[in-house]
């Protein structure tokens, strides 16, 4: 064990990984709008370099924030002076990261000895792409297609599940648009394998693929994902260069042409929620937009995020209900019930604006406004204990319960499309 820890530290050093020694993650509970405003003020103080995992929006919702070691005491002093309650979720972020890297090394060793892919572990982009190749070679109805490439010229690979026919009604599923949300890419990979292996044996999957095609993009932001492995585990955005700024990257889930540049997106290039210079400026977003428009027959658009255990539908850029509110709310609740049936994990259901906060330029708002009625965003485990750093031993439970929710939605879409 000691040797593995030393090896892990050496690998981290060789990759020039940013360290987070002494960084703490606090959960802050506000009592009223005034305290929310105080936190929003805190958020605007750039010199503190705060990383809000859950943004301050309403008194009823908790706020999670990663605080660099140099700012911990001053932030705590500010909160205490204002009488704002907080608790420590993560005492030292680097300890959690060290454990995560150690788990990956041990899993890689096991995988080498067994020769089989470990779906219960976190993987590099290279390993994920190799597994996509394996699935495509193993199953005749699975094809790996490239729909574009990232800013740094990495392929955007999609698995197409199709049992025949041309331009059949289709379902879209993506993961990892925010690169640090590792449980999403991992879950998408398990789900891909589940769908492939269940066809012909599971009645629900078989009837779905006999009528519809499914397109799955497991790593929607490959540049950001690679960066979380090689440089900064907490990176969220793309890696595009911003004209006139020293800061890098755009929040790809603020870059869609749906209320672009509105509330809940930042026009400051250094912000984690920077919307970019224009809608679809990010090639990762534009590639998906072009693919979906060119196909022309998508009936559902589903996207995986973490964390908070939420199942949301439009809108985010405005706080009015969508035309299909009753059906989407009912279907969301049915999917949440399916999720809960496995391990008792509860998901809150509602529109983005009413469930979390107003956020413009998001993917499911774009898809809904472009005629794809069944547009849903899942926020996977957990509710804050580990946040974006969900331990690998929770990947399979998260993937399995999420699949039940996805399947419920897909069955409804299939029935409505036939």
Q: List, by residue number, the catalytic residues.
A: 379
Which parts of 244-352 are beta strand (E)? Answer: 298-306, 310-313, 348-351
Environment class of residue 187 by beta-carbon count within 10 Å: exposed (0-12), middle (13-18) or buried (19+)? buried
Q: Give the dihedral of Cα atoms 343, 348, 352, 357; nearest 10 deg.
A: -110
| β-pair type (142-149, 85-90) | unpaired
Quickly count: other Cβ atoms within 10 Å of residue 207's Cβ: 14
Q: What is the C-alpha separation between 371 and 297, in angstroms, rounded?
A: 10
- Give the H/E segment covering residue 332: helix 325-343
Chain-centroid distance, C-alpha 176: 4
CA angle 214–185–379, rounded 5-degree value? 90
Farthest-apart Cα atoms in the chain, separation: 66
Segment 326-330 long-range contacts (CB within 8 Å, at least 24 positions apart): 327/373, 328/373, 328/374, 328/376
> Shortest CA distance to 5 belongs to which of 146, 142, 102, 122?
102
Buried b (16+ CB within 10 A) or exposed e, 255-294: bbbbbbbbebbeeebebbbbbbbebbbbbbbbbbbebbee
The CA-atom distances, in angstroms, between 131 and each of 119, 144, 158, 238 are 10, 11, 12, 23
DSSP-assigned states of every residue in 261-287: T-TT-BS-TTSTTB--SSTT-SHHHHH
* Beta-bridge partner residues of 214: 161, 171
- Residue 319 is classified by DSSP as -
Q: What is the C-alpha separation between 174 and 183, in angstroms, rounded?
A: 13
Chain-centroid distance, C-alpha 284: 14
Residue written as token pair 């490439």: 149
């Amino acid at each position: 064990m000691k040797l593995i820890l030393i090896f892990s530290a050496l690998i981290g050093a060789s990759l020039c990984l940013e360290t987070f020694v002494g960084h703490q993650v606090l959960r802050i509970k506000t009592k009223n709008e005034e305290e929310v405003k105080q936190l929003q003020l805190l958020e605007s103080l750039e010199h503190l370099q705060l990383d809000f995992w859950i943004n301050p929006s309403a008194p009823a919702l908790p706020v999670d924030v990663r605080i660099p070691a140099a700012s911990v005491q001053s932030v705590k002093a500010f909160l205490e002076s204002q009488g704002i309650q907080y608790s420590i979720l993560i005492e030292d972020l680097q300890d959690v990261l060290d454990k995560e890297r150690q788990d990956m090394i041990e899993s890689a060793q096991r995988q080498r000895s067994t020769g089989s892919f470990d779906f219960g572990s976190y993987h590099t982009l290279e390993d994920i792409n190799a597994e996509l190749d394996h699935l495509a070679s193993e199953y005749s109805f699975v094809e790996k297609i490239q729909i574009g490439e990232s800013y740094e010229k990495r392929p955007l690979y999609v698995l197409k599940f199709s049992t025949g026919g041309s331009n059949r009604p289709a379902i879209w599923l993506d993961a990892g648009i925010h690169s640090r949300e590792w449980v999403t890419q991992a879950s998408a990979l398990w789900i891909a394998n589940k769908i492939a292996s269940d066809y012909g044996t599971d009645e629900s999957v078989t009837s779905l693929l006999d009528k519809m095609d499914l397109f799955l993009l497991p790593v929607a932001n490959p540049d950001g994902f690679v960066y979380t492995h090689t440089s900064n585990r907490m990176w969220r955005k793309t890696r595009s260069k911003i004209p006139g700024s020293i800061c890098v990257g755009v929040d790809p889930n603020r870059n869609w042409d749906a209320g672009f540049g509105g509330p809940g997106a930042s026009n400051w290039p250094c912000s984690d929620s920077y919307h970019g210079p224009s809608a679809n400026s990010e090639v990762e977003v534009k590639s998906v937009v072009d693919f979906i428009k060119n196909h022309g027959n998508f009936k559902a658009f589903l996207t995986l995020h973490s964390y908070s255990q939420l199942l949301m539908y439009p809108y985010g850029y405005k706080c009015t209900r969508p035309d299909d509110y009753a059906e989407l709310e009912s279907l969301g609740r049915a999917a949440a019930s399916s999720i809960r049936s496995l391990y008792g994990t509860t998901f809150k259901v509602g529109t983005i604006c009413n469930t979390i906060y107003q956020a413009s330029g998001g993917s499911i708002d774009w898809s809904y406004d472009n005629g794809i009625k069944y547009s849903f965003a899942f926020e996977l485990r957990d509710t804050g204990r580990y946040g974006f750093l969900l331990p690998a031993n929770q990947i399979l439970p998260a993937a399995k319960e999420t699949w039940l929710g996805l399947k419920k939605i897909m069955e409804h879409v299939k029935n409505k499309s036939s």
